[in-house]
Structure 1
Amino acid sequence: MSKKLPAVSSKAPVMLHGADYNPEQWLRYPEVLREDIRLMKLAGCNVMSVGIFSWVSLEPEEGVFTFDWLDHVLDSFAENGIYAFLATPSGARPAWMSEKYPEVLRVERNRVRNLHGFRHNHCYTSPVYRDKTATLNAKLAERYAHHPAVIGWHISNEFGGECHCDLCQNAFREWLKAKYKGSLDELNHAWWAAFWSHTYTSWEQIDSPAPHGETQVHGLNLDWRRFVSERTIDFCRHEIAAVRDFNPDLPVTTNMHMIDGIDYRELAKILDVVSWDAYPEWHYTENDDDVRLAAWTALNHDMFRSFKHKPFLLMESTPSLTNWQSVSKLKRPGMHKLSSLQAVAHGSDSVQYFQWRKSRGSSEKFHGAVLDHSGHAETRVFRDVAEVGKTLAGLTEVVGTVTPAETAILFDWDNRWAIKDAQGIRNSGLKYEETVLQHYRALWELGIPVDVIGSGDDLTRYKLVIAPMLYLISEENGQRIEKYVEQGGTFLATYWSGVVGETDLCHLGGFPGPLRRTLGIWAEETEGLHSRDVNGLVLNADNALKLSGDYDAHEIAELIHLEGAEALGYYRSDFYAGQPALTLNKLGAGRAYHLATRVKDAAFYVELYAAITAKAGIGRVLESELPAGVTAQLRTDGEHDYIFLQNFSGTEASVTLDGLVYTDLESGEAAPEVVALPVNGLVMLKRKVAQK
């Protein structure tokens, strides 16, 4: 039975390949558009994102609209088989608007209103800004929603930032009134406002966090972050509403960029298609070790795919370098194709770039682009892009295929926010994202597909759920995890979990709070360790996972007591030598593991998850040993599997296949028993799905 999903657009049911295109910057150079289209076709590009920052070119003065140039661009695209994601240009407002309506400009945390400039320097609450965006968006939709070149809406660009103006303060108070059902008593309790005599006696006393005001009420900080996220999402919803009715069949997306201030899992719910912008700093670390970075990028790809459990779009990446990283290195030979196809391996149905042609001036004139200032195709970067275009043209059968993951990692935004606000065990850095990556990377090295989900998502579709540092968890979600384990699921939690509830109040009765029965432990104390401090995890003989070894541990250590769980390993040294450090609790039909300390050695996590996944009956993409730094990722249509072998190790590598029959997707020939992978190399394979 086919598991293939429809393409993003029925007009273009192929792998999409293209870039951000800014023709409004070149209106004085009419020959540029003609040459651009010729070169787009030469590079195998079939889609462009147009109009992202073009407000002043579309509305040069209030109420005066100029669409001729965009008509010409889109008509030229249609004549040449090129498609467009048409953007709403709210990412940067024109100067006439800032001059006439200063309320649209943001107020910073210090309560000073910004001058005109930069981008996303606008208030999402401002009625004027909402009115102006709705008007222009509707004009665009009325004119272009049925244009043959347009295959989707690109709403704004990389939403982010916050505003502290009076409009936003009032909106925040109304948001709080709704959340706490109009009760200041409930709010004061939820925020523990009696601390330092911070109890509020009127709603007007509540202000957003400020460097010269309140920063120490963690419940306030957390609710402000939630409000900012919801306000941003509401503004995106407002933009979508202005264009949707003109052609309900036209899909809507907005490009995300791992901005800390927006809960992207919630934003994804109002979109038809998830898209994101990936800019890994390849070759940045010492000895050009790209393995860790490749795993982190893969985690993000998997997260954006998991929002809707269907293919996403890589909306931006760089074909060469950026202009904003601390050191802007060029991609080494092979890396452009490898990193582009990495996105496809994890579920993307597109590879797109910022930008098509380098700007001639301003801040991004040295940002990487398909076309350099030379303006011709005789460059290494253009050849790399054309090679990817050719490869993508041969992957049409992969479009719409899915990634069947039986393992999930929990990654929640409010948990992330709360951890970063916590003051206590290790103020030099709790390293939440690094902890998530430690666990994810082991599965990535093993070639085990992973979804990245939230605590409120359906857990029953997974055999294994991993929750690194689930510091913030509600009683309700704790009960859901307990039920999941009782019904046969496998669960793993770590130190610093089950500490606070949804308003950042500590759980009473002992940590890990609502996970205590699930894990079968009581965490009495948690200690932060100096960078110079090293303890260790020693696996005991004949443990249930049949693992052995003595591994260094550092940074965080938790003193726990067994309350039904069994110890699989103990601390090596210090006053808690011999105390449990890795435990297993059998609850109902399932198993729950707890790791009480941060182990340094990456090999430990690989061995741990190899054992846990084997017990849970979770298979790998290839039942083969993968060299360090080599991963195997899977997409499937239910009849055929598509395997992407990728080598980020920095050295040549080879993989011995598992005895099944494979075809090389690019050559169409039978794959050899041993697949050779050059430095920064990848091989794409196809096999029939075994009938059960």
Structure 2
Amino acid sequence: MCQAVTKKQVMLHGADYNPEQWAHDEAIFEEDLRLMKKAKVNVMSVGIFSWAKLEPEEGIFDFNWLDTIINRLYDNGISVFLATPTGARPTWMSEKYPEVLRVTKQRQRNLHGMRHNHCYTSPVYREKTTIMNTKLAERYSAHPAVLGWHISNEYGGDCHCDYCQQAFREWVKDKYETLDALNHAWWTTFWSHTYTSFTQVESPAPHGEEFVHGQNIDWKRFVTDQTLDFYRHEVKPLKEKNANIPVTANFMELFEGLNYDRFKDDLDIVSWDSYPTWHFEESDLDVASYTAMNHDWFRSLKDGKPFLLMESTPSLTNWQAISKLKKPGVHHLSSLQAVAHGSDSVQYFQWRKSRGSSEKFHGAVVDHVGHEHTRVFKDVAAVGASLETLAEVVGTRIDAKVALIFDTENRWAINDAQGPRNSGVHYEKTVLEHYRGLVAQGVNVDVISSERDLSTYALVVAPMLYMVRSGIGEKIEAYVEQGGTFVSTYWSGIVNETDLTYLGGFPGPLRKTLGIWSEEIDALRDEEYNQASALTGNALMLNGRYRIKELCDLAHTETATTLMTYDQDFYRGYPALTVNHLGKGQAFYQAARFELDFQCDFYRQLIDQLGIARALDTNLPEGVSVSRRENSEAAYIFVMNFNQRPVTLALKETFKEVLTKETLSGHLALEAFGVAVLKQVK
């Protein structure tokens, strides 16, 4: 996928580079070139936020400085991801064309400033973007240094200007065609909100309408579609000049503002920016799992193809509530964690720390001191050395037989539902607990939307699938009938795609698949718990009692079999865990929010029952995770220790350790925050 200037297959290692900040001192650029070689970097992202430097006055362009940067980088063995500079517009544009500035949901136009403070619908902004991107394409699309186009930077946010209001009305009219269909979908008879003209449709506003949930969801869909349309507008002149240069847009961790699934077919390569908060808690296991789930989410957008880690910090950030320094070994471990889950790069924000403004204290490879004699620089160079040894891993894929459904539109609907726990139903945390229960078993996991194909998976897990869009329930039912195993939970099958509740009993379209009928759901207070006990001889051979919290579904079995029952309250004896056999497959239903210890036990038994192969055939100590990348010739098993203490694993085979070139058999010893890459020849 990615090749360095030598045309050899390599892991990419680099950073965001902003040489325009140092244009007053040519010696700094020359020093940067020297330091880049010492850090073993081979790629830089350039041109991000450079519009004011590229077009200092309207219609007056200066690319000479960028020519120098790209040519000198290339001469020194460093390729570039060349960015379109649309993440921030120059001041002259905001002054002359105020329509390019965003309007808030309060209907107030912003002043110039910040990033992404522009309207994606604005004809002027689109015109200026086309001019800029066309000139970039004409000048650089044949340059051998350019590995790919870095489109804008971290798309996000919405605009409520008149252009966007009109575009939203047209979007709604195209979708629903008639006012009757619109009014039914949004259930506008409630509170006398019926629309009698499409001209009355507006975006949600705190001083207007915010409680029509179907409207809220459709606005979020529109924002995604309008952002995607602007992305396509950006890419068009680039692809017209040279369709062979890949394009990417860097995404953000667990971002709720856009449905990234809608972008997957337009991206040549998926990339994202990872900023975990290491050492915030006593244990790093939570943040390690959260980061791994993000890696798997972004990797899964392109059906397992390698992605790029476009940004990370080599030390700390400047915007998190508390940003602690990485302990020794953590930078190396977290960088290789990205590779383990499918990345073919490790890149940073930023190469050299800014001297002023909001990110002057954000971590960088080169600190304000300006030399290589720092702990962080040495850590970065060590990562560069490891990436050089992992060249043979480039392009290998992850084959997952387990899928976890994390659906953005479902997330929107759940978080807007107004009940049953407005203090938090914790969809994201619940999905993460299921993910942790799965990866604790040493299996690769794809993280996908509910619309994706399920046929290749032995196990599909869909926690809190509250919104079941048209055709999804039928697809899941067919998957189970054909032999798949499906796991669902409480608060599933509640509404359709416009947030209208299903009539006739929950879980709506999943009722036949799960073989249960949900009558009510009880919300527990924080620090209030119930318990569930496993029935003797249950199909998963679960034993004992498990604590449950937050939500308890009162369900009745129809064709399902009860495996566990509640211990307490007026619904004592009701099913807490069931299984339903349908066709050749089976479907499990967790009626309450179990804690992590249950999920680990549940998925251990289920994966054993299904015979799903683990990435490494061994018992994993707590805090140790594994991930497996492979091609037709070999498998590469990444074993990662996220504990602050050494651990030892038993090995049943003999492996070559790629990083150290050692031959390992019998056992694998990992130091605190250590990582090993085991090669298994096929």
> TM-score, normalised to structure 2's length?
0.99
Distance 1:7 1:538 in 2: 52
Cα offset for 1:158? 0.1
Contact kept in structure 1, 2:4 and 2:42, CA below 8 Å: no
SS of the aligned residue for 1:405 comes to: coil
* Matched residue, 1:679: 672
TM-superposition CA deviations, 1:611-645 (whole Å, max 9, x none) = 11122221111121100010111000122110111
1:688 aligned residue: 681
- Where do 1:382-531 residues align within 5 Å? 382-531=377-526
Deviation at 1:306, TM superposition (A): 0.5
Contact 2:331–2:379 (CA<8 Å) still a contact in 1? yes
CA distance in 2 between partners of 1:208 and 1:9 (Å): 46
- Aligned AA (1:66): D
CA contact (8 A) 2:154 2:252 kept: yes
Cα deviation, 1:492-551, whole Å, max 9, x if unaligned, reads 000100000000000111000000000000011011110132101111110001111201
Q: Quick one: percent identity of the two aligned structures?
A: 58
- Decide whether the 8 Å contact of 2:465 with 2:491 is kept in 1: yes
CA contact (8 A) 1:8 1:273 kept: no
1:405-453 deviation per Cα after TM superposition (whole angstroms, max 9, x unaligned): 0000111111000000001110000100001001000112211100011
1:51 is the counterpart of 2:47: yes
Q: Deviations over 1:36-69 (max 9, x none)?
A: 0111011000000000010000000000000111
| Aligned counterparts of 1:200 and 1:46: Cα–Cα separation in 2 | 57
Task: Say which is worse superposed, 675-684 or 171-180, in terms of deviation.
Answer: 675-684
Give, in angstroms, the shift of residue 9 of structure 1: 7.3
Structure 1 counterpart SS, 2:338: helix
Amino acid at match of 2:469: S
Are 2:10 and 1:14 equivalent residues in the alignment? Answer: yes
Cα distance change, pair 382–303 in 1 and its aligned pair in 2 (3 A): same
Pairing of 1:100-179 with structure 2 (within 5 A): 100-179=96-175
Distance 1:649 1:190 in 2: 50
Structure 1 residues 329, 393: closer, same or farther in 2, change over 3 A?
same
SS at match of 2:471: helix
Counterpart contact for 2:165–2:202, Cα < 8 Å: yes
Q: Secondary structure of 2:510's partner?
A: helix
Runs of 4+ more than 2 Å apart: 6-13
Structure 2 unmatched ranges of 5 or more: none
Contact between 1:540 and 1:569, CA under 8 Å: does it hold in 2? yes
2:67 counterpart letter in structure 1: D
Which of the numbers 305, 327, 330 marks the counterpart of 1:332? 327
- The answer to whether the 8 Å contact 1:8/1:251 transfers is no
Report the counterpart of residue 263 of structure 1 in structure 2. Answer: 259
Counterpart mapping for 1:62-461 below 5 A: 62-181=58-177, 183-258=178-253, 259-285=255-281, 287=282, 289-308=283-302, 309-461=304-456
The one-character-per-residue Cα deviations of 1:88-117 (angstroms, maximum 9, x if unpaired) are 000000000000000000000100000000
- The residue identity in structure 2 corresponding to 1:64 is I
Structure 1 residue 454 displacement after superposition: 1.2
CA distance in structure 2 between the partners assigned to 1:491 and 1:365 by the alignment:
49
Q: Name 2:663's counterpart in structure 1.
A: 670
Does 1:606 find its partner at 2:600? yes
- Pair 1:620-2:586 in alignment: no
Query: In the alignment, what sits opposite 1:580?
Result: 575
Q: Secondary structure at the match of 2:48?
A: coil
For 1:603 and 1:649, how far apart are their aligned partners in 2?
18
Deviation for aligned residue 1:118: 0.5
Q: Contact between 1:632 and 1:643, CA under 8 Å: does it hold in 2?
A: yes
Moved more, 83-92 or 255-264: 255-264
3-state SS of the aligned residue for 1:242? helix
TM-score, normalised to structure 1's length?
0.97
How much does 1:363 deviate?
Answer: 0.2
Q: Which residue of 2 aligns with 1:590?
A: 585
1:650 aligns with 2:622: no
Structure 1 runs not aligned, ≥5 long: 1-5
What letter matches 1:454 in structure 2? S
1:660 aligns with one of 647, 653, 657: 653
Q: Does 1:633 align with 2:630?
A: no
Residues 533 and 544 in structure 2, CA contact (< 8 A), matched pair in contact too: yes
Q: Deviations over 1:313-365 (max 9, x none)?
A: 00000000000011111000000000000000000000000000000100000
Q: How far apart in 2 are the matches of 1:7 and 1:138?
A: 24
1:522-561 to 2 correspondences below 5 Å: 522-561=517-556
Partner Cα distance (1:508, 1:624) in 2:
48
Structure-2 separation of matches of 1:264 and 1:364: 27
CA distance in 2, matches of 1:80, 1:219: 55
Q: CA RMSD in A?
A: 1.0
Determine helix, strand or coil for the equivalent of 1:389.
Answer: helix
| Equivalent pairs, count | 679
CA contact (8 A) 2:483 2:583 kept: yes
Deviations 1:240-288 (A, max 9, x none): 0021121111000010013311111111221100000000000011x2x
Contact 2:101 2:109 in 1 (8 A): yes
**CA offset at residue 7 of structure 1?**
3.8
C-alpha distance in 1 between matches for 2:441 and 2:607: 10
Secondary structure of the equivalent of 1:225?
A: helix
* SS across alignment from 1:93: coil
Cα displacement string for residues 571-608 of structure 1 (whole angstroms, at most 9, x for unaligned residues):
010011111000000000000000000112x2211111
Give yes or no for contact 2:351–2:366 (8 Å, CA) kept in 1: yes
How far 1:12 sits from its partner (Å)?
A: 5.5
Give SS of 2:522's match: strand
Q: 1:441-489: CA deviations, max 9, x gaps?
A: 0112211100011111110010000001000002411000000000000
Q: Is the CA contact 2:293–2:447 (under 8 Å) kept in the aligned structure 1?
A: yes
How far, CA to CA, are the matches of 2:419 and 2:252 in structure 1? Answer: 30
| Alpha-carbon distance between aligned partners in 2 of 1:604 and 1:62, rounded to the nearest angstrom | 62
Give the Cα–Cα distance (whole angstroms) in 2 for the partners of residues 617 and 480 of structure 1.
24
